[in-house]
Chain A
Amino acid sequence: MIEPNRNGEVWVFAEQEDGSPHDVALELCGKARQLADRLGVKVGAILAGWKVQELSRQLISQGTDNVYLVEDRQLEHYLTQPYARVLCTLIEKHKPQIVIFGATPLGRDLAPRVASAMRCGLTADCTDLDIADVNDPAAKTTHKNLLLQIRPAFGGNIIATIINPERWPQMATVREGVMPLGTPDMLRQGEVVQEKVEFQKQDFAVKLIQRHREQRQVNLKAARTIVAGGGGVGNKDNFKLIHELAGAVGGAVGASRAAVDGGFIDKDHQVGQTGTTVRPALYVACGISGAIQHRAGMEESAKIVAVNTDPEAPIFSGAHYGIVGDLNQVIPMMIKALKERPKE
């Protein structure tokens, strides 16, 4: 735990793997920039690994002022305890007021270990962050410029705003894909600060024996259009309709959990709280009832079209266009209309 430090920087943990930055790390640099500008402080990024200095440029181009670089051969592949040691050492040294991590499997492994060691608060899986003064009527005080940590809770049925008024740094993990990725400014200036961290033997209690990475077959986050199918599609064979419509519109194929559980399509395609969060220009939901867990992953889409036989399906309440009808009839009509569409 560190004392509240109003001049402390806003920090981002710059998650990287094999020398490539994770998208969410770059997304967070932009968000950290906004927060830091509100507070009148600098943005710092913690970059740990082996031969990763080159990434500093990218972090700076997305809004970072100071890149705290820790290069060590022992940090080549992520391990919880050595990375936690890096974070704790640098937090105690520089006393940032805010530290944010991507809510990736790695970030959600690391951040709680750090928060526990620092005895500070941590909010998981935020979908938004903001700065505001918060009144504490019980203590008759106002906490100036606190980090508001906004997240869905209770299976996505409510939105909670969490604060961490006293035991700093204020820490949060942030869901991937919810903060828009900024346009890099390659002329932006920043500083790379070389840091040295001492490890202890017990930091290496876990040994990495084998490592396998899969190239993601689908990149839902980058898709401009997503056509998604749900349990209402009925079976795997019928799911071809979803692929056909996606092909006709030049989009990616998404799915609800029901469709994945039903074996219609691979889990990589799952949109929602336990899948990918997406924000395409167009999201076409076919045979998806619209459980809150699914909507949490797609409601930021610019335009939502829902097709469902059940007029009471919750998916319609978040949609811009609704078609109450059988997708087996509606999808072929859509494909036909797309082929015949007027070109702009």
Chain B
Amino acid sequence: MSYHSVVCVKQVPDTANVTADAMREDGTVNRAALPTIFNPEDLHALEMALTVRDRYGGTVTAISMGPPMAADVLRDCVYRGADRAILLTDRRAAASDTLATSYILSRAIRTLGQYDFVFCGRQAIDGDTAQVGPQTAEKLGIPQVTYLEEFIELKDRTARIRRNVGNGWEVVEVQLPVLISVLDTAAEPRPPAAKRVMKYKHARARAELEAAVKAGLPDATNGERDSEIERRAEPLRARGLMLDQWDLDDIRADLAWCGLAGSPTKVHRVQAIVLTKEGYTEIPPTEEGVRRLIRELVVDHTLG
């Protein structure tokens, strides 16, 4: 028996360390000014898929939807043990909200054919919505188990899982196939394996070659660029170092459900957080200062 797992991973800006440089005057975020990282909980999802493969046999396929540079996180997946990586990139997918994103991911997963598990992190740190997992499960017509903390066992195509529900935990059983979202309190992700890093560090997706050629040969014709891309791709392909790349046509996606058109939610307004200094009183760190503070808090009934 072997089990095929798909892991959905996302490259995200490191929102935990947003500096003033990354904010534009109008309050929007300049994503380009932020370093990108592997979405933390997706690493735990990958670890869970690898654990299942190690224990029960099978394969792990990582999928990332994003711009060409998202291939970074796919290489990372391969370094850590994924058998296959697919970059899902298409300009027509830009501005997809969670519903459109889950539709596109579900098309890609269906295109893979047979699968037993879909793993994803609970949520991505750039949106914090935690919606894409459940929505993808619904689009695939399969059950979802969110907030996995421990994969207990797999027997007769039934997985037993402990999930953390905030005010406690539950053990559930579910028949495969299933989509599982993973918490960052689940097993620690394994590090990249040095041997695999050496082997796959030159792996590239076609979109990356295109971007590099476009930057390197700004004046070349399309034909010249294409042959240069092909020239670079050829040896990579021969060594098994071309990452798979799909666009919306490859997954036979209905464009009405993708990108802006497929997104029911619209961003109406964005504001930077403005901190107000209004009514601020500095208290000196002295006995007298602190006594005055407490007195003020008693007088205005903040303290009883």
A interface residue numbers (CB < 8 A to B): 80-81, 84, 104-106, 108-109, 111-113, 115-117, 119-125, 134, 148-149, 152-167, 202, 205-214, 216, 225, 249-250, 273, 281-282, 291-293, 302-303, 305, 314, 316-326, 329-330, 333-334, 336-338, 340-344
Question: With A122-B98, A157-B15, A210-B170 in contact, do A337 and B290 touch (Cβ < 8 Å)?
Answer: yes
Per DSSP, chain B at the interface is mixed
> CB-nearest residue of chain B relative to A108?
B130
A232 to chain B, nearest CB (A): 14
Chain B residues with CB under 8 A of A208 = 170-172
Contacts of A318 in B (CB 8 A): 275-276
**Which residues from chain A contact B175 at a C-beta distance below 8 Å?**
205
Q: Pick the contact of A162: B169, B266, B296, B302 (CB < 8 A).
A: B266
Residues of B within 8 A of A106 (CB): 165
Q: How many residues of B contact A (CB 8 A)?
A: 84
Q: Is the CB of A113 within 8 A of B138?
A: yes
Which listed residue (B28, B264, B271, B295) contacts A120, Cβ 8 A? Answer: B264
Asked if A333 meets B144 with Cβ closer than 8 Å, knowing A164-B264, A292-B273, the reply is: no
A157-B29, A206-B174, A329-B285 given; A303·B297 CB < 8 A: yes
Say yes or no: is B55 at the interface (Cβ < 8 Å to chain A).
no
Contact A317 B275 (CB under 8 A): yes
Whether A109 lies near B144 (C-beta < 8 A) is yes
List CB contacts (< 8 Å) of B249-285 with chain A.
Answer: 263-273, 275-277, 279-285
Q: Does B113 contact A (CB under 8 A)?
A: no
6 contacting pairs across A/B (C-beta < 8 A): A113-B137, A162-B266, A164-B265, A321-B293, A333-B286, A333-B291
Distance in Å: Cβ of A271 to nearest Cβ of chain B: 15
A206, A209, A330: the one contacting B143 at CB < 8 Å is A206
The 8 A-B pairs with the shortest beta carbon distances in the complex, nearest first, are A325-B285, A155-B15, A121-B264, A116-B138, A121-B265, A124-B129, A167-B264, A213-B168
What residue in chain B is nearest A324 (Cβ atoms)? B285
CB neighbours of B57 from chain A (8 A): none
Q: What is the minimal beta-carbon distance from B214 to any residue of chain A, in angstroms?
A: 29
Tell me, yes or no, whether B51 is within 8 Å of chain A by CB.
no
| Stretch in B72-80, B120-128, B189-197, B221-229 with 4+ CB within 8 Å of A | B120-128
> Given known contacts A108-B131, A160-B271, what 14 new A-B pairs fall within 8 Å (CB)?
A80-B134, A112-B133, A116-B135, A116-B138, A121-B263, A155-B125, A161-B268, A162-B267, A205-B174, A208-B170, A209-B171, A209-B173, A212-B169, A344-B298
Q: Is B166 an interface residue (CB 8 A)?
A: yes
Answer yes or no: B303 CB below 8 A from chain A CBs: yes
The distance from the CB of A60 to the nearest CB of chain B, in whole angstroms, is 26
Known: A158-B272, A323-B290. A282 touches B285 (CB 8 A): no
Are A81 and B143 CB-contacts (below 8 A) given A115-B131, A213-B167, A320-B281? yes
Most buried by A among B131, B144, B270, B271: B131
Contact A333 B172 (CB under 8 A): no
Q: A155: shortest Cβ distance to chain B, in Å?
A: 3
Q: B27: which A residues are within 8 A, CB to CB?
A: 158
